[in-house]
Amino acid sequence: MAGHEGGRVYPVRSPKVARAYPPRARCQPVNLWPVSAASDDDRAVRLTAWVYGRVQGVGFRYWVRRQAETLGLSGTATNLDDGGVEVIAEGGEAACRRLLAALGSGATPGRVARVTDRWGAARGDVTGFAER
Instruction: Decide: 120 and 78 in contact? Cβ < 8 Å.
Output: no
Among residues 54, 66, 79, 97, the one annotated as catalytic is 79
Catalytic one of 46, 61, 65, 98:
61
Asked about 79 being catalytic, the answer comes back as yes
**Cα atoms in the 13 Å half-sphere on the side-chain side of 49:** 25
DSSP string, 31-73: -----PPP-TT--EEEEEEEEEEE-SSSSHHHHHHHHHHHHT-
Give Cα separations from 15 to 10, 11, 93 (angstroms).
15, 13, 53
User: Which residues are marked as active site?
Assistant: 61, 79
